[in-house]
Amino acid sequence: IPQPNASLIFLIEFALEASKKAGSLNVFDEMTNFAAEVSTKAYQIRKYEKAKKIKMKI
């Protein structure tokens, strides 16, 4: 069984969170905060993917 791609899992989580946040009264504030969370998470995923590639070379 192939391992699910981290980016794919992230996109699914993103869609679920976005739909939850869309129901909020403070949509603009919520989405601004969520965008900050998303960029942080995307950065962490890129760091993790890079580290994985480096480990594979060793």
Q: What is the pLDDT of residues 11-43, one digit of tens each?
A: 778 877 877 766 655 666 777 778 888 888 888
User: pLDDT value at position 1?
Assistant: 56
Give the 3-state secondary structure of residue 23: coil
User: Please, is 17 exposed, middle or buried when counting C-beta atoms within 10 Å of its C-beta (0-12, 13-18, 19+)?
Assistant: middle
User: pLDDT value at position 54?
Assistant: 80
Quote the tokens at residue 36: 């900050």
Look up the pTM and report it.
Answer: 0.41
Higher pLDDT, 51 or 5: 51
